[in-house]
């Protein structure tokens, strides 16, 4: 049996993302969305989630390239005076790992991001992260403590078959090899801890190596050889014009990714292949 979760990241980042999420849920294959607690359009995203209760919501943990939830004076070593995290993920990741003095501030902010969603009346079922920051060793250690406390039962284990990806898209080959080495190591370290806590995860995650380029053609190719069991596929859909997503992700194909989620060709082929589209709770959409 093959099951597929289809997720939109960056829910709450902007109105263009939010409108795309709602359209993809109503008209397409979307089963879940990962919400940015510090996103400028968070309140709008909450309203969309409330009027679409079948859409499963997770936390899109943001500790780089975004805004914090707590005031800057509560996490002064993590954000600037305007409350923004570093835009440099490598520098931020090194600081979070080597500067042990940041641990308490990180824990405070991560818990605040979880609580902001829960306080809005939205139950959280899963956690993933902006630029996969949730797998950072320090951040993951904090999440291991907080996920059981807040009833979060699923986690994105970001590992993808490199050879399968390169079969259909050979762009950024060197970068993909490096990413595969890094995330293979991180997921190997995380998996036994998740198993110990009984936190579920997909066996493979599609979208890491082709982030921003999850087009209809690519999707039609990769679904032909999905592995048995649960796969998650994540997208960054958007409706343009939207200044925020164009500024942050100028090379991403937001409109094409939305079209792929809404594609009748993809839906028909999944039906032919007998691949169930569902959420982390196992609720089947089609």
The pLDDT score that the predictor gives to residue 124 is 95
Is the Cβ–Cβ distance between 149 and 195 less than 8 Å? Answer: no
* pLDDT exceeds cutoff 90 at 286: no
pLDDT value for 29: 98
Average per-residue pLDDT for the chain: 97
pLDDT one-digit tens code per residue, 72-105: 999 999 999 999 999 999 999 999 999 999 999 9
Per-residue pLDDT tens over the stretch 104-153: 999 999 999 999 999 999 999 999 999 999 999 999 999 999 999 999 99
Q: How large is the average pLDDT for residues 57-63?
A: 98
Instruction: Indicate the CATH number of 2-277 among 3.30.1360.150, 3.20.20.370, 3.90.1150.10, 3.40.50.300.
Output: 3.20.20.370
Give the burial class of 65: count Cβ atoms within 10 A of its Cβ; 0-12 exposed, 13-18 middle, 19 or more buried.
Answer: middle
* Confidence check: pLDDT of 237 > 90: yes
What pLDDT is attached to residue 99?
96
Q: Report how far Cα 132 is from the mean position of its chain's Cα atoms.
A: 7
pLDDT at residue 136, rounded to an integer: 98
Q: Domain coordinates of the chain in residue numbers?
A: 2-277
| DSSP state for residue 200 in the 8-state scheme | B
Indicate the SS3 state at residue 83: coil
Specify the pLDDT at position 194: 98
Instruction: Return d(Cα 118, Cα 132) in angstroms, integer.
Output: 21
Report the share of the chain in percent with pLDDT over 90: 98
Alpha carbon 267 to chain centroid distance?
22
pLDDT in tens, 189-210: 999 999 999 999 999 999 999 9
Residue 253: pLDDT over 90? yes
Q: Is 198 exposed, middle or buried (0-12, 13-18, 19+ CB in 10 A)?
A: exposed
> What pLDDT does residue 173 have?
95
Contact in structure between 129 and 171 (CB atoms under 8 Å): no
Report the candidate in 206, 214, 252 with the shortest Cα–Cα distance to residue 28. Answer: 214
């Amino acid at each position: 049996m093959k099951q597929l979760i289809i997720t939109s990241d960056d829910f709450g980042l902007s109105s263009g993302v939010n409108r795309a999420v709602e359209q993809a849920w109503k008209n397409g294959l979307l089963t879940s969305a990962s919400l940015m607690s510090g996103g400028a359009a968070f309140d709008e995203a909450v309203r969309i989630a409330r009027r679409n209760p079948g859409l499963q919501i997770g936390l899109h943990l943001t500790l780089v390239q975004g805004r914090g939830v707590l005031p800057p004076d509560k996490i002064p070593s993590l954000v600037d005076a305007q409350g923004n995290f570093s835009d440099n993920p490598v520098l931020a990741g090194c600081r979070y790992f080597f500067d042990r003095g940041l641990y308490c501030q990180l824990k405070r902010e991560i818990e605040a991001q979880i609580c902001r969603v829960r306080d809005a009346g939205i139950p959280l079922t899963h956690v993933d992260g902006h630029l996969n920051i949730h797998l950072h060793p320090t951040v993951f250690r904090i999440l291991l403590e907080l996920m059981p406390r807040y009833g979060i039962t699923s986690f994105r284990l970001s590992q993808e078959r490199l050879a399968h990806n390169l079969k259909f898209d050979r762009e950024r080959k060197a970068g993909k090899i490096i990413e595969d080495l890094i995330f293979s190591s991180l997921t190997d370290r995380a998996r036994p801890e998740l198993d110990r806590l009984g936190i579920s995860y997909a066996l493979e995650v599609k979208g890491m190596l082709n982030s921003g380029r999850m087009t209809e053609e690519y999707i039609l190719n990769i679904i032909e050889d999905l592995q048995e069991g649960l796969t998650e596929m994540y997208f960054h859909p958007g409706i343009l014009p939207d200044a925020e997503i164009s500024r942050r992700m100028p090379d991403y194909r937001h409109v094409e990714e939305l079209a792929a989620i809404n594609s009748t060709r993809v839906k028909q082929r999944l039906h032919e292949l007998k691949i169930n589209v569902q959420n982390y709770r196992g609720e089947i959409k089609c």
